[in-house]
Amino acid sequence: METKYANFSDGRYEALNRVELEIPILCPHCGVSNNPINRIQGHNGYSNTYIAFFSHTCTACNITFFTIQSFIKTNDKYAKKAIMLAVSPSSHNRKFEERIETFSPRFVSSYNQAFSAEQSGNLDLAGMGYRAAEEILIKDFALKIIENGSPEKREEIAKLNLNNTIGKYFKDDQALLVSTDVVRINGNDYAHWDRSDDFDTDSHLQEQKAYLEIFINIVNTRLMIINPPVSREKH
Ligand SMILES: [Zn+2]
C-alpha cells in the first residue's frame, strides 16, 4: 500500500508533539486523496517504542478509518516519523451506488481490481485496469440501456472494439463521447510500448479516473431516470 505522511501534534504528550503519522495515500473507504482529520484514541510508551492508536475521518466521504502508529525509540528519544503498523479497513474496495452494483457487477469487480493495483503503486496496471473496467460499463450501457437488452445486439456489441462501440453509440452525446474517449485514450497509453519518456503516469491516471467518474455519474443518472421511485400514474 502506498502511504504518505501527515502532520500531527498533541502538546500534552512529549512523544506526540509535532510528529508525522504514516497514513494510506488514498482513503480506504472512498479512494479519494486522503487529508483526514486525525485524532488520537489511545497510546502507551514502551522501552523501545511508543505505540498510538488513531482515528482518521476522511474529509471527502466523512467515514473514519483507523491506524496503529509506532514511534521507535533511539538514544532515549522517540522518532518524530511514525511507522504505520496496521490500518483498518485494510480491504480497499470502493463502494458504488447500489444501482451501479446491480447494473454491472463485473464493472465493479474490475474497477476494484484496478483500484487495488493503484493502491499498491502499480500504476501502469491500474491504468489498463480502469480502461478495461470502463469497457465493460460502456458495453453494458450500450446493450442494457440503449438497445433495451436485445439478444441479437448482444452478439454485435461483443464484437465491437472499444473505439467503435463509443463511435457507434455515444457520438451524438457530447458528455458520453468526451468522458469515455478520454479514459480510452489515456488507458491506451499504459499499454503502449512507444510512449514518451516524460509520460507522467500519476497525473494521467488521476485525469483518467476523473473522466471515468463523469461516465459513472452519467450511467447512475440514466438509471435513476429509467427507474424512478415514483411514477406519474400513481400520483
Ligand atoms: Zn473517504
Written as one letter, the residue type at 166 is I
Q: What is the CATH number of domain 98-226?
A: 1.20.120
**Cα of 35 from ligand 1 centre, angstroms:** 9
CB-proximal residues (5 Å) to ion ligand 1: 27, 29-30, 58, 60-61
List every span in the chain annotated with CATH 3.10.450: 3-88
- Listed in sequence order, the DSSP H helices in the chain are 98-103, 105-119, 123-140, 151-159, 162-170, 174-191, 201-226
Tens of pLDDT, residue by residue over 30-41, are 877 679 999 999
State residue 104's pLDDT score: 96
**Cα of 143 from ligand 1 centre, angstroms:** 32
Along the chain (235 residues), what's the average pLDDT of each consecutive run of 10 residues?
91 93 89 86 93 95 94 94 92 84 95 88 91 95 93 93 92 91 86 80 90 94 89 67
CATH architecture type of domain 3-88: Roll (3.10)
List every span in the chain annotated with CATH 1.20.120: 98-226
Per-residue cell: 156: 454485435
Tens of pLDDT, residue by residue over 96-153, are 989 999 999 999 999 999 998 887 788 899 999 999 999 999 999 999 999 999 999 9
